[in-house]
Amino acid sequence: MADVAFEAFVSQNYDLAAQMYDRLLMEQGPVKDLYLGKGDCLARSGNLNDAFDCYTRALAMGQVSPDRLMHLVTSVIETVSQKEGLSVHDYNSEALDMFSCHICHGLLYEPVTIPCGHTFCKYCMQKNKSRICKKCNAHHAGLVLTTLKVNVVLSNLVEKCFSTGTTACKLKLQGNQLFSEKKFEQAVDIYTKALSAEPSDHLLLSNRSHAYASLSKHQEALEDAERVCELRPDWPKGFFRKGSALLSLCRHEEALVAFMQCLVLDPSESSARKELAKVLHCLLSPLPPENMKHGELPRCLRGPIFPPLPSRPPIAQSSVDFLRSAIHQTFNDDEETDHVSDVLKESARLEEEVEEDRYLKPHEDTNLGNQDEMSHYGAESSEADGQDQQRQNVDFKALLKHANNETDRLKELSSSPRSRASGSMCRKLHLGSDVIAMGKRKRNDFSPLSSPIRTEFKFSKTEVEPRKPREVDPALIDRNDYECSLCFRLYYQPVTTPCGHMFCRHCLDRCLDHNNKCPLCKYSLIEYLAERRQAVTELMDKMIENTMKSELEERKKIHDAEMEELARYMNSDKIGEIPVFVCTLAYPTIPCPLHIFEPRYRLMVRQCMETGTRQFGMCLPSNQNPFVEYGCMLEIRDVQFFPDGRSVVDAIGGRRFKVLDRGMRDGYHTAKVEFLQDRKIEGEENIAQYKSLHDEIYEEAKTWFDGLNGVIKNRILTHFGTMPTTEENPESTRHGPKWSWWLLAVLPLDTRAQMTIMAMRSQRDRLVALRRVLNYVSSQNTS
């Protein structure tokens, strides 16, 4: 049945699994593993009160590893973090300024810019070993963390604007190196020296706290950790440091809250989970470790039946409710805070009164309980042990009565609308009375750990002034620091190369059209080209916007004017200025794939894509002029880039044009053109004659193509595709029948003859010319 119970637990049927463990306990008696299994089921189902009791019993029966309490840890975290309690999303973390690293939350030192355009400390990126951006969650699978290059421009700017902070960062890295070499005393000295320059640097305080802890100076470690939590109440590592120091000082209940605060902010923090398991292990252990030798039960617990444990009160659901209140205070300015502190003090005072009544006041009206049940505590007990047990039971009724009276009094306090936490504390004291009713051990038999009920938590409202964002001193602003080394103008849409240099995006693209190496250091940018990064470096963009707003607006106007000039192409249906690709002859509606490798045409295609026109002209070369008089527009449907900058352009023919004037721009040809339109066929008789001619020539063309040699036919099909079908109203199409252009492209004609037919503005004339060509080709094949 134990295996079945475990399977039910794995399938998340916790209630059924708990029932099975109950039955096993009834059949087999008290078994440590069964109590642990039942505790896991109860914890995961949210029944923390009973779960704590099961864990307490298991811990009393033998040694249990803290790792065995991980299910309890998970359940407690979920309980504390759920709605009506706490959630990490409920906290409005202090916004980081633009000069802060989003990994360490400190000043950017040796900044590196990753492909998505966000910048972090180089040390943080390499230490974190994650290829997921902490700001945008972009995943950079191919990013090699060990080869990241420092962003040269940003590094110089940060060092110039924040020299003191940069010096502290350098000292911090020296201290980290000494710490890794286990030279803790020297590391503390370096951190202290750095803190004299930057006294509010939470990273330095955290590192020094760790170094103090390594030197067993736990009080000093706690002081630094508490200062970290004051400076950065939204940083989970500060609470981890604090919890670790408190745990070393045996202040387990406060350590419990500190680790919970850490895990509420970052539930994935595995180290905090392990430490929290250790704290819960200590709090739930009913006996000190020295009494648990070799996993044997104490003499008073041996017997055929396992009675209720005489233990100190475990931390239970009401304590979890208190955790919510305590953690909530740390992050929120709430009117309840002072009242929570008052309730805590009142609870501590009442607990002391309960303890005094227990040991100082005699009670005569007592009931020693069932003698048969008491005999199960062990016949081998000495007379002194029996007297101790009798004394505990003598106190039973009086303690219970006193605790319940005080509980009622606290409930009256809880009716005040100003506090929710008081109700939690009343439930807590009520739980204490329930556990007292089970019978407590003598105070000197307790573990040195104190009860959570008896502890006055010191989590009052922290008055923390919001950090002022780092600002650049206007006297340190020099426009030369913000100029592109290619265009010598203010950075516009700055991008960072893998080698760490920064340029305007358009300037770098233009350089890469000619050479795939960095313009400054000649580092190969094949990787940059292959990934088509082009993500703007966010930090530099914000710095320019904040420090030189007017200059940025002027720079933007210049860029927009340049883009408008490029976009002037194709603005008119009749006359326009277009870029020209001098290569071959293209035809309307016919695909024309191109392999782009020349730098000038790489630039031309990129500009067509950036301006949104996605079109350029295609013309044949000429002996007298750079290109012929007639051509066809090509519309870009898709571009596939190669790592070295080459590309394959999937284009299709569009409008025909006549060249009126020729020009040059950025190394490629341009032309002022007039777009050609076919003359409209009017009159029903003319339309009928045209359709009759159209159908006859289509059948002739189809017959000719079907009669071609198989090898030639396959070549045509591979390059131009199958012959298009006829349209329903061919006379109304914009460019004429699609099949006519396909036929003109595949016919074995001289390019000059093809261009002559393409220049015709009458669909009828083009069809007649195609019929003559078909007749000539057919006669040649026959002969």
| Residue 411 CB partners (closer than 8 Å, separation 6+) | 423, 426
pLDDT (average), residues 406-421: 41
pLDDT for 319: 56
DSSP-H helix ranges across 162-309: 163-180, 184-197, 202-214, 218-231, 236-248, 252-265, 270-284
Can you give the C-alpha Rg of the chain in angstroms? 41
For 509-536, how does the pLDDT look when each residue is reduced to its tens digit (9 = 90+)? 888 887 888 988 988 888 787 777 778 9
- Calpha distance 292→61 (Å, rounded): 8
Q: Is the Cα torsion angle 315, 320, 321, 325 positive or negative in sign?
A: positive
Q: Is 467 helix (H, G, I), strand (E, B) or coil?
A: coil
For 9-27, how does the pLDDT look when each residue is reduced to its tens digit (9 = 90+)? 888 888 888 888 888 888 8
| Residue 251 CB partners (closer than 8 Å, separation 6+) | none
Contact between 676 and 658 (Cβ < 8 Å): yes
Model confidence band, residue 783 (pLDDT cutoffs 50, 70, 90): low
DSSP codes joined into one string, 104-130 = T-SB--SEEE-TTS-EEEHHHHHHHT-
Q: Is 575 helix (H, G, I), strand (E, B) or coil?
A: strand
pTM as predicted: 0.59
From 43, 1, 45, 52, select the one nearest 22 (Cα to Cα): 1
- Calpha distance 346→358 (Å, rounded): 18
- Calpha distance 494→500 (Å, rounded): 12
Q: For 62, phi and psi rounded to 5 degrees? A: 165, 180
pLDDT (average), residues 625-637: 91
Contact between 258 and 243 (Cβ < 8 Å): yes
The neighbour count for residue 591, using CB atoms within 10 Å, is 16
Q: Is 622 helix (H, G, I), strand (E, B) or coil?
A: coil
- Of the listed ranges 140-154, 312-326, 427-441, the least confidently predicted one is 427-441
pLDDT for 288: 54
By DSSP bridging, strand 668-675 and strand 630-641 are unpaired
For 602-615, how does the pLDDT look when each residue is reduced to its tens digit (9 = 90+)? 888 888 887 778 88
H-run or E-run covering 23: helix 14-28
Residues paired with 121 in a beta bridge: 111
DSSP-H helix ranges across 91-183: 122-128, 152-161, 163-180
pLDDT for 496: 93
